[in-house]
Amino acid sequence: MEKKERRSQGWFGKTGKDGLIYRSWFKKQGIPTHELNGKPVIGICNTWSELTPCNSHFRELAEFVKRGVYEAGGLPVEFPVMSLGETLMKPTAMLYRNLASMDTEESIRANPLDGVVLLCGCDKTTPSLVMGAASVDLPTIVVSGGPMLTGRYRGTSISTSDIWRFSEESRAGRMSQEELYIAESGLCRSDGHCAVMGTASTMACMVESLGLSLPGNAAIPAPDSARKVMAHMSGMEIVKMVENDLKISEILTREAFENAIMVNAAIGGSTNFVIHLLAIAGRIGVDLSLEDFDKFSANIPLLANLQPSGKYFMEDLYYAGGLPAIIRQLKDHLHNDCITVNGKSIGANVEIFENFNEKVISAIDNPFNKTSGIVVLKGNLCETGAIIKPSAAAPELMTHTGRAVVFEDIDDYKNNIDDPELDIDETCIMVLKNVGPKGYPGMPEVGNMGLPPKVLDKGVTDMIRISDGRMSGTGFGTVVLHASPEAAEGGNFAVVKTGDKITLDVPNRKLELLVSDEELAERKKAWKRPEPIADRGYVGLYIKHVEQANLGADLDFLRGGSGSEVSKDSH
């Protein structure tokens, strides 16, 4: 037995009946006695699922993590948690992010683990696992599954962002169903998650910039042999983290969150970054607000020329030097001394990385766009905030006043958007209600709603759209998201009507409904809270307890953590 008592020895180090039971059932898996005598027991938290195609290669990836754990003298133990596949889950994978985080937290906490490797890929699988692990606070490292190789369609490069373009082409009658069939066969060419700077890639960059993964983790394509090496090296690293008792709370400092916001601005990351980072901060006890996203991204230029804000794909980012080549250029902005999983600072980690392609990663003194990041809007249409990603929006719409065309819910939108009689043109502002956390429920990615055909026919490709929902990280357009309080909670967003005038003023961070306070007060008197669509099970629990988007949409009782101590035995 080693001198230092590990957490896992609270199970395997016991004598008498309890120790017998703990060890005996573990040994039935072919584990010899000496493996249980004080080696670090490393949980590999696996979100493999054939219902999450982005993570379908994770069984193989876990084997490479195990190799690293064994090499460093640890005992790896793989376990499943709820996997959230973005493309198949109804009504939206976001509804289940908090449930998966609970599964992760309790699976780690209840079991004889000294450290954890989180295998994350498709959008929600990263924040849910990090949220859960943060609430336990063991040594923790993230291994991302990596992006897919760039897709192909008729000789051109494509990926998920093209879905929205194809959809508009199809709705305008310029692309046939046959062409869509051809496109879908070339879109997802390999293992991995979406190949653009969508939410999955943004989340991989988030964990790397927070210091929760080894440098270079985010951009390595899933099929590249370097991804397996990354898994192996991370397996070795987690054993060291346990030896050094380097817990996730020591990495997730306020400064690390500020770094992540700045890096997200430089990469043109997904708007979903906001809601997930706020939720993680809530778990680890870091005081982060919506305003911090605006404040810390304000002076950061856009360095990554990646779709949907730019031209290239994640594969190109990897060949250009990966995320470390971007982080290195931000050294005058970042907290370079923030500690990361390998015990070194984020500044030291990126020193050896170079930028090999300035078409993909610009020099900081010659950026692709001087402004980037997330702008936080305030005003009487979103009393506690809304966000917009200017790098994915039309510059000419950044200041605009228009007539509202309001859809009360997603069915209202679907039933009317293609109607030739719909009174709308490109100067109007489309408003979609009841797609927020409680209202849908689950806050789906429908905020970048398609434009009406009568506008598309004119060749117009963008209009201002406002909702209390989210947008896919692969989406783009002048899209105001996360308006809170959401329509289902009352507030002015609940009572905006078709014909009202709205002003969007991004330079001044304003979103104003040009209706008098008196008129709004009258409308609110007549407003009735919608009946919740479920009052039982997880969905009922979610609707009762989910917080608003400006707080991260976590369940109110999940804020903070329970820690790793479990005093009672099961026998």
By CB under 6 A, the count of residues binding ligand FES is 10
User: What is the distance between the alpha carbons of residues 98 and 443, in angstroms, rounded to a whole number?
Assistant: 12
146: left (phi over 0), alpha (psi -120 to 50) or beta: left
Report 168-197 residues binding ligand FES (CB under 6 A).
193-194
Residue 160 or 297 with smaller CB distance to ligand FES: 160
Q: Which of 333, 134, 121 is nearest to 227 (CA)?
A: 121
The SS3 of residue 52 is coil
User: What is the distance between the alpha carbons of residues 247 and 241, in angstroms, rounded to a whole number?
Assistant: 8
Residue 183 or 429 with smaller CB distance to ligand FES: 183
Instruction: Determine if 86 is a binding residue for ligand FES (CB under 6 A).
Output: yes
Residue 94 or 194 with smaller CB distance to ligand FES: 194
Residue 160 or 213 with smaller CB distance to ligand FES: 160
Q: Which of 159, 160, 372, 434 binds ligand FES (CB under 6 A)?
A: 160
* Strands of 18-131, DSSP E: 41-46, 75-80, 115-120
CB 472 within 8 A of CB 481: no
For residue 242, CA distances in Å to 72, 298, 423, 555 come to: 11, 37, 63, 30
Instruction: Determine if 306 is a binding residue for ligand FES (CB under 6 A).
Output: no
Residue 52 or 101 with smaller CB distance to ligand FES: 52
What is the smallest separation between the CB atom of 521 and ligand FES, expressed in angstroms? 43
Find the radius of gyration of the CA atoms of the chain: 24
What is the smallest separation between the CB atom of 472 and ligand FES, expressed in angstroms? 8
User: What is the distance between the alpha carbons of residues 341 and 76, in angstroms, rounded to a whole number?
Assistant: 18
Name the token pair of 525: 């008197």
Name the token pair of 429: 């502002």
Report 457-496 residues binding ligand FES (CB under 6 A).
none
Instruction: Determine if 148 is a binding residue for ligand FES (CB under 6 A).
Output: no
Instruction: Determine if 198 is a binding residue for ligand FES (CB under 6 A).
Output: yes
**Which residues touch 305 (CB under 8 Å, ≥6 apart)?**
311, 312, 359, 360, 361, 362, 368
What is the smallest separation between the CB atom of 221 and ligand FES, expressed in angstroms? 13
Instruction: Determine if 123 is a binding residue for ligand FES (CB under 6 A).
Output: yes
What is the smallest separation between the CB atom of 210 and ligand FES, expressed in angstroms? 19
Residue 305 or 474 with smaller CB distance to ligand FES: 474
Instruction: Determine if 87 is a binding residue for ligand FES (CB under 6 A).
Output: yes
User: What is the distance between the alpha carbons of residues 34 and 485, in angstroms, rounded to a whole number?
Assistant: 56
What is the smallest separation between the CB atom of 201 and ligand FES, expressed in angstroms? 8
Name the token pair of 15: 């004598």
Residue 194 or 466 with smaller CB distance to ligand FES: 194
Residues that bind ligand FES (CB under 6 A): 54, 86-87, 122-123, 160, 193-194, 198, 200
